[in-house]
């Protein structure tokens, strides 16, 4: 482990590749790469092309069975972009949820990292293990537990809010309303997502020379001031990477939404691009329209990914 630690601790930054050695066999790297490239090409790249093609077809149950193709040009996109659902419901749900979840995840993760950095090794190990447990909780089971907590009538959260006089437990259903539905989803996603931010930022914090912090304290800088004038500028690349990665993950959250009551398309008010695409395809058998929605989601993610790549390229020579 020391090897990886010694080289560089910034996320996404691997040590520079060694100088090339003379090789007579040009084929060897390709021989080593072929199996992995075949799997990724066949199961990730080809389907991406295929989904683009599908989005230009009217592909339903009949086409699925017969294997025939029926081209419709941009009709699916016309229907998608002309849909009131997209602009009033699905896009706001997807984007606002992602933004809120990312902000909460990064802020909480950073606060926890700052706390961890100040703890004794023993306590830090204890808290880190607890964080790991939250991280390790599978999306499926994590979602069911939060659904259980917020279950109508006798869920613990609903009972507690009733005791505080905020809701009436007999009638309250957190999953019916759009905002309360996403509040529960955000809690779930932040619980699962902040450990990554906390541990990555902590790794960055430990690289800041102790003398710098001590000098700032000697100069009488407050904790707030120290964070914005010292820690944040030094860890800017770390914050950039955790933010972009969190954005990508929170944009494409699927399982957590789909498994909540109504999230599987029953309650159309809480659809996201991801669940909408899935429901159109596999519940309505409209694979063409589902593909068009998936292409829109992919295009949005591509924009975020480009930001990620630019960050990486700025910092290292691949």
- One-letter-per-residue 3-state SS of 118-160: CCCHHHHHHHHHHHHHHHHCCHHHHHHHHHHHCCCCCCHHHHH
Interface with other proteins by CB under 8 A: which range of 69-77, 82-90, 178-186, 192-200?
Answer: 192-200
- From 106, 189, 241, 257, residue interacting with other proteins (rule: CB under 8 A): 241
Touching other proteins, residues 44-83 (CB under 8 A): 44-48, 50-51, 54, 64, 67
- From 133, 166, 212, 283, residue interacting with other proteins (rule: CB under 8 A): 133
- From 56, 98, 112, 172, residue interacting with other proteins (rule: CB under 8 A): 112
Touching other proteins, residues 194-223 (CB under 8 A): 195-196, 199-200, 203, 223
**5 is a site residue for other proteins (CB under 8 A):** yes
Touching other proteins, residues 280-309 (CB under 8 A): 281-282, 287, 290-291, 293-295, 297-298, 301-302, 304-305, 308-309
- From 259, 260, 270, 271, residue interacting with other proteins (rule: CB under 8 A): 259
The residue (of 177 and 315) whose beta carbon lies closer to other proteins is 315
- From 134, 176, 216, 221, residue interacting with other proteins (rule: CB under 8 A): 134
302: exposed, middle or buried (C-beta count within 10 Å: 0-12, 13-18, 19+)?
A: exposed
Touching other proteins, residues 145-164 (CB under 8 A): 145-146, 148-149, 151, 154-156, 159
Which of 250, 318, 312, 317 has its CA nearest to residue 10?
A: 312
Non-local (6+) Cβ contacts of 294 within 8 A are 51, 55, 273, 277
Separation in Å, CA 150 to CA 115, 160, 228, 260, 268: 29, 10, 37, 10, 20
- From 83, 135, 208, 221, residue interacting with other proteins (rule: CB under 8 A): 135
């Amino acid at each position: 482990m020391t090897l990886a630690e010694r080289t560089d601790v910034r996320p996404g930054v691997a040590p520079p590749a060694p100088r090339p050695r003379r090789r007579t066999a040009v084929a060897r790297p390709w021989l080593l790469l072929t199996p992995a490239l075949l799997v990724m090409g066949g199961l990730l790249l080809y389907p991406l092309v295929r989904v683009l093609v599908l989005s230009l077809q009217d592909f339903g149950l009949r086409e699925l069975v017969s294997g025939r193709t029926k081209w419709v040009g941009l009709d699916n996109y016309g229907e998608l972009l002309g849909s009131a659902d997209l602009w009033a419901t699905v896009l706001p749900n997807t984007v606002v949820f992602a933004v809120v979840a990312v902000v909460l995840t990064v802020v909480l993760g950073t606060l926890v990292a700052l706390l961890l950095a100040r703890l004794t090794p023993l306590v830090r190990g204890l808290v880190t293990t607890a964080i790991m447990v939250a991280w390790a909780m599978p999306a499926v089971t994590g979602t069911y537990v939060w659904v259980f907590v917020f279950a109508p009538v006798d869920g613990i959260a609903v009972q507690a809010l009733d005791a505080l006089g905020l809701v009436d437990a007999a009638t309250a259903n957190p999953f019916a309303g759009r905002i309360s539905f996403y509040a529960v989803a955000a809690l779930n996603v932040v619980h699962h997502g902040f450990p990554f931010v906390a541990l990555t930022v902590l790794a960055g914090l430990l690289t800041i020379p102790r003398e710098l912090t001590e000098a700032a304290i000697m100069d009488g800088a407050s904790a707030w001031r120290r964070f914005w004038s010292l820690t944040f500028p030094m860890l800017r690349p770390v914050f950039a990477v955790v933010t972009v990665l969190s954005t990508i993950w929170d944009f494409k959250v699927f399982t957590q939404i789909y498994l909540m009551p109504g999230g599987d398309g029953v309650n159309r008010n809480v659809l996201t691009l991801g669940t909408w695409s899935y429901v159109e395809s596999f519940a309505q058998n409209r694979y063409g329209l589902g593909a068009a929605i998936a292409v829109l989601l992919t295009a949005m993610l591509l924009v975020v990914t480009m930001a990620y790549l630019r960050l990486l390229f700025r910092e290292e020579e691949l």
